[in-house]
C-alpha cells in the first residue's frame, strides 16, 4: 500500500506525518515554525527518517498558511507569496520539498486541505459542495464545489468578509490589522480575548462574550452559505472547541435565514448541517496525506 507524507504548515507550528490514512499513521512530529530553510529541512529530515523505517513515500502533500500560489499552471506554483511572516515571503515551499524527496508534491491552503481531509475520511464524505471553516487565532475557510476544491483567482479568504457590527452592543473596533471589524476581526479567538480582557478559554459558557460570538459566527455562516450553497458546513479551530456554541449557532442561523432557504438540511436537520470536524484537530495533516494521494495519482 502506497505510503504518503503530509505537512500541515501553520504560522506557529508544523505537523508532519507519514501514513496511508487516519487508521494508519505510522509516525508524526510537531515543531515550532522557524525560517523556511530550518522548517523545510526539519520536515524533509523527518520524512527521510520515516522512509528508512517504512520504505519510500509515493508522494507528499502540503497544507500551507498563506497567502500561497496553489495554481499548478503558474510559474510560482507551490510558493508562499506575500505573507508578512518574516523570511517566508516568496518561498518555493513545494518545490524545495519535491526536489529534496524526489516525489510529486501536492500544495494547497491549510483550510482547503483540511476540507479535503474531512471529505476523504471525515464529516464531508460523499458530499460534492461544502465548506470547512476554522475559527481560532484567525478565521479561514476552504471549500469544495462540484467535487473540486475552490481556488479561482487566488484562493478563498472567508475570514475577511464584511458582517454587521452593532457598535452600540459591541464598541470593540475589531482585531484585523487590514479591516478592523471584518468577520475575523470580530470573531477570532484574539478578538474575544482583546474585547473581554481574558483568553476565550477562560470565559464560562454563560458569559455574554458567547452571545456576541454566536451572533457574529451565525452572521458569517449565513453570508458564506448563501453564495456557495454548501451541503454541509464543518467548523473547526480552537474557538469551536467550545462545543456549547454549536446548538446556539445552528438556532441563530435558522433565525437569520427566517425560512428563506427551504431545504430540509437547514430547516429540519441542521444538527447534521453545521457540524464539528470528524477528524478533530487532525483534518489538516490528514488532508495533507489525502492531497499526497491525489498528487501521486496525478
Residues at the contact surface with a second copy, assessed by CB under 8 A: 67, 81-82, 128-129, 131, 141, 143, 145-146, 148, 150-165, 178-179, 219, 222-224, 226-231, 256-263, 265-266
Compute the least distance from the CB of residue 182 to a second copy, in Å.
9
| Cα dihedral value 63, 156, 250, 192, nearest 10 | 80
- Asked whether 214 and 249 are in contact (CB, 8 A), the reply is yes
In the complex, the smallest distance separating the C-beta of residue 46 from a second copy, rounded to whole angstroms, is 31
CB 160 within 8 A of CB 182: yes
Q: Which is nearer to a second copy, 42 or 231 (CB)?
A: 231
d(CA 51, CA 47): 6
CB of 144 to a second copy, least distance (A): 9
Kindly tell me which of 218 and 239 has the beta carbon lying closer to a second copy.
218
Q: What phi and psi, each to the nearest 5 degrees, are found at residue 185?
A: -60, -30
The C-alpha cell at 42 is 526539519
Distances (CA, A) of 197 to 57, 90, 150, 173, 238: 47, 36, 37, 14, 18
The nearer residue to a second copy, 171 or 227, going by C-beta atoms, is 227
Residue whose entry in the numeric block shows the C-alpha cell 507528499: 60
Q: How far is the CB of 295 from a second copy (least distance, A)?
A: 18
C-alpha cell at 60: 507528499
Q: Which three cell numbers stand for residue 45?
A: 529530515
Report the nearest approach of a second copy to the CB of residue 188 (Å): 15
Closest to a second copy by CB, 166 vs 206, is 166
Q: Write down the least CB distance from residue 141 to a second copy, Å.
A: 7
How far apart CA 278 and CA 204 sit, in angstroms, is: 25
Which of 228, 288 has the CB closer to a second copy?
Answer: 228
CB of 32 to a second copy, least distance (A): 26
Peptide bond into 67 cis (omega under 30): yes
Q: Which is nearer to a second copy, 165 or 282 (CB)?
A: 165
**Does residue 127 contact residue 234 with C-beta atoms inside 8 Å?**
no
Q: Which is nearer to a second copy, 161 or 200 (CB)?
A: 161
Amino acid at each position: 500500500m502506497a505510503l504518503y507524507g503530509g505537512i500541515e504548515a501553520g504560522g506557529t507550528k508544523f505537523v508532519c506525518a507519514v501514513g496511508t490514512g487516519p487508521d494508519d499513521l505510522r509516525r508524526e512530529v510537531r515543531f515550532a515554525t522557524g525560517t523556511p530553510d530550518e522548517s523545510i529541512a526539519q520536515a524533509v529530515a523527518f520524512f527521510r527518517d520515516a522512509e528508512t523505517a517504512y520504505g519510500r513515500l509515493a508522494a507528499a502533500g502540503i497544507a500551507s498558511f498563506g497567502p500561497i500560489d496553489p495554481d499548478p499552471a503558474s510559474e510560482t506554483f507551490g510558493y508562499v507569496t506575500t505573507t508578512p511572516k518574516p523570511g517566508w515571503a516568496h518561498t518555493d515551499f513545494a518545490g524545495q520539498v519535491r526536489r529534496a524527496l524526489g516525489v510529486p508534491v501536492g500544495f494547497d491552503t491549510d483550510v482547503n486541505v483540511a476540507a479535503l481531509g474531512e471529505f476523504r475520511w471525515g464529516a464531508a464524505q460523499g458530499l460534492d459542495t461544502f465548506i470547512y471553516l476554522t475559527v481560532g487565532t484567525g478565521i479561514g475557510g476552504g471549500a469544495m464545489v462540484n467535487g473540486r476544491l475552490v481556488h479561482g483567482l487566488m484562493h478563498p479568504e472567508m475570514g475577511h468578509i464584511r458582517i454587521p457590527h452593532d457598535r452600540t452592543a459591541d464598541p470593540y473596533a475589531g482585531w484585523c490589522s487590514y479591516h478592523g471589524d471584518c468577520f475575523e476581526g470580530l470573531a477570532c479567538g484574539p478578538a474575544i480575548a482583546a474585547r473581554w480582557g481574558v483568553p476565550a478559554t477562560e470565559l464560562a459558557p454563560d458569559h455574554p462574550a458567547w452571545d456576541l460570538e454566536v451572533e457574529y459566527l451565525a452572521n458569517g455562516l449565513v453570508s458564506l452559505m448563501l453564495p456557495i450553497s454548501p451541503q454541509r458546513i464543518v467548523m473547526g479551530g480552537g474557538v469551536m472547541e467550545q462545543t456549547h456554541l454549536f446548538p446556539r449557532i445552528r438556532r441563530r442561523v435558522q433565525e437569520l435565514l427566517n425560512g428563506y432557504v427551504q431545504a430540509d438540511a437547514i430547516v429540519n436537520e441542521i444538527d447534521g448541517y453545521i457540524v464539528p470536524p470528524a477528524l478533530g484537530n487532525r483534518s489538516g495533516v490528514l488532508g495533507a496525506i489525502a492531497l499526497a494521494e491525489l498528487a501521486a495519482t496525478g
